[in-house]
Amino acid sequence: MRSQGQVRFIKISSRFQIIAAAILVAGLSFWAISLGAMGVTQYLAQSERTALLDREARVASAENRVDAYRDNLDTVADDLGQRQAFIEQMVEAHLGVLPEEAAADETVSDSGDEARETVEKIGLSIPEARNLAQLEARQLAFVERLTRYADRRSKRAASALRELGLNPRGLLSSVNDRTAMGGPLDENGEIDPRFVRLGLSLARMDALERGIAGVPQYLPAATGMVSSSYGYRRDPFTRRAAFHSGLDFKGRIGAPISAAADGRVSFVGRKGGYGNLIEITHANGLTTRYAHLSGFKVRVGQQVEAGDHIGAMGSTGRSTGPHLHFEVRQGGKPLNPRAFLEKAPHVLKEIRRNVAARGE
């Protein structure tokens, strides 16, 4: 290094160079493995969709159903009974009420033409079975309509999560074929693929909408007065610059503190400079912290909803006066709570407006 006519030499040892190279190689390897894992996940998801559609096409074949009706009407009646029970269970568990008609979606098969052809063939070949065939056709039409409805809601929820800066893919890691277990069997002794599709679609919808419900969207303190923001500030004790990992809401001792989103209480007690602390874990991988409290209204393991009364404002721990210190964390790292509290209500209001407009 040359400076003001003087030359200085910096020597880098072989050991230092080896360590630096190893760190670089490890970082590149981790990046390559992450890209590979993402590619495999996408490939498996596409393969699953293709396999389901192929099986749906085979099961929907009119010839297959005519043979089944001809072989044993009692077996077909039992199968239709199982289908009806499965449909009612899915609707009750995931929706509570029947949805309105859904728009067509290219990711879901449409068995309408095959179903009509099946009814005609069965009616000509086995007249006494025509009513059963018509019932089956109505069931299949409803299953496909319900699947499209769930897929549309999933798409809307995933879009909202991305708009809020969250990755919806992580919420779907536990959704697989086991979700649809309990449905009727097809002629090969496997679960009818149309019911597998319905179970998967409803499970995805549930996972994504639970993720939406876990986004901080409700002001944790009614005062709404932020006395200290997220980011670097002058520490009130040391008077030096320090990072502030949340928002401070100023108020009075005993003022009610509310849950910012749906979740499960994972910690209640005293924790270092936080003083009395409540921590809530949410379905989307986020956690929220409510610190310096003077009292608790919840217990560990309790499920709470956005707006529920969980504690009382105080000045315990490292505090200069009564206030709530509110944090949002993901994977242990702090995020800016203001980004969620200001944006989430508008995003979620738009979702609810679209749902109401569609009659869902």
Q: Rounded to the nearest 10 degrees, how much is the dihedral formed by the CA atoms of 347, 351, 353, 357?
A: 150
| Residue numbers of the domain that contains 194 | 15-213
- What average pLDDT does range 212-236 have in this prediction? 86
Is there a single domain that holds both residue 207 and residue 245? no
Q: Are residues 280 and 338 in the same domain?
A: yes
Same domain, 70 and 208: yes
| 70-74, 326-330, 337-341, range with greatest mean pLDDT | 326-330
pLDDT of residue 180: 47
Q: For the chain, what is the mean pLDDT?
A: 78
Q: How many domains does the chain have?
A: 2
Q: Does any domain span residue 286? A: yes
Query: Over the stretch 333-349, which tens digit does the pLDDT of each residue have?
Result: 999 998 888 888 878 77
In a domain, 8, yes or no: no
Q: What is the pLDDT of residue 136?
A: 77
28 and 171 together in one domain:
yes
Residue at 24: amino acid letter: L
Q: Could you tell me which of 245, 166, 150, 285 has the C-alpha nearest to residue 204?
A: 150
Q: Which of 179, 213, 247 is the last residue of a domain?
A: 213
- Using only the alpha carbons of the chain, give its radius of gyration: 28
Q: Which of 57-66, 170-179, 318-327 has the highest mean pLDDT?
A: 318-327
Indicate the pLDDT class of residue 102, thresholds 50, 70 and 90: very low
Whether the per-residue pLDDT at 103 is higher than 50: the answer is no
- CATH number of the CATH domain containing 276: 2.70.70.10
Residue pair 199/90 in contact (Cβ under 8 Å)? The answer is: yes
In a domain, 64, yes or no: yes
Domain membership of residue 181 (yes or no) is yes
Examine the domain organization and report whether 121 and 266 are in the same domain.
Answer: no
Rounded Cα distance between 251 and 237, Å, is 20
Q: Which of residues 44 and 56 earns the better pLDDT score?
A: 56
Q: Does one domain contain both 231 and 207?
A: no
Last residue of one domain, picked from the residues 188, 213, 238: 213
pLDDT at residue 246, as a whole number: 93
Tally of CB atoms within 10 A around 244: 18
Same domain, 132 and 237: no
Q: For the residues 46-55, what does the mean pLDDT come to?
A: 65
The pLDDT-based confidence of 101 (bands split at 50, 70, 90) is: very low
* Per-residue model confidence as pLDDT tens digits over 164-195: 888 888 777 656 544 444 555 555 556 678 78
Does residue 2 fall inside a structural domain? Answer: no
Q: Do 189 and 338 sit in the same domain of this protein?
A: no
pLDDT of residue 67: 66
Residue where one domain finishes, among candidates 213, 242, 272: 213
At residue 355, the pLDDT reads 55
pTM for this prediction = 0.63
* Across 8-17, 61-70, 272-281, least confident range: 61-70
Query: Which residues sit opposite 7 in a β-bridge?
Result: 2
